[in-house]
Amino acid sequence: MPTREPGGATTLPATSDELSRLLTAVRRGRVLTVTGRFREPRSLLVREIAARLSSNFCDGAAVVALDRPFGVRELTAALGCVPGVTFPPCGTADAVAWLAERDVLLVLDGADLLTPQARAWLRGLLDAAPGLRILAAARHPLGFPPERVHRL
């Protein structure tokens, strides 16, 4: 679990060496999932990675916090409503074609809540969108073939 320092600052649940390796893994790989028993440290770590790497992607980083089951419709709607990121407007009919032309980091905080259909859609999206990287926080790995896993 993350610890609180005097003054309320939160320390990351990773050493600086681990964080450096994770940043490199996201830049070089396609999918990285941070797993662990507790949601708060996973969320904290993936959001920190996204903040540090956002400028490395032409279209930035899109953080989607999943707090209930998310299907394809909910996921594409959430992508269209991420503030500060130039994603298609809510309800865009062909999100795959739109995302295929983007260089973006997609952060899925709470990826355990993705439905099987949403997971299948994301797997297909990886094939269609070469500039897409996925960073997920979940209790268990996503199970995508190019996935790297970091256990807390």
- Residue pair 49/75 in contact by the 8 Å Cβ criterion: no
Q: What's the one-letter identity of residue 82?
A: V
Look at phi and psi of residue 136 and say left if phi exceeds 0, alpha if psi is from -120 to 50, else beta: beta
Q: What's the one-letter identity of residue 113?
A: L
Q: Look at residue 78 in the predicted model and tell me its pLDDT.
A: 84
Whole-angstrom Cα distance, residue 40 to residue 47?
Answer: 11
pTM here is 0.86
Q: Give per-residue pLDDT as tens, 30-70.
A: 999 999 999 999 999 999 999 999 999 988 898 999 999 99
Q: Diameter of the chain by CA atoms?
A: 49
Q: Look at residue 88 in the predicted model and tell me its pLDDT.
A: 59
The residue count of the chain comes to: 152
- Residue pair 33/49 in contact by the 8 Å Cβ criterion: no
Nearest to 114 by CA among 131, 137, 97: 137
Distances (CA, A) of 135 to 43, 63, 140: 11, 9, 13
Cβ atoms within 10 Å, residue 33: 24
The list of the chain residues with pLDDT below 70 reads 1-10, 82-93
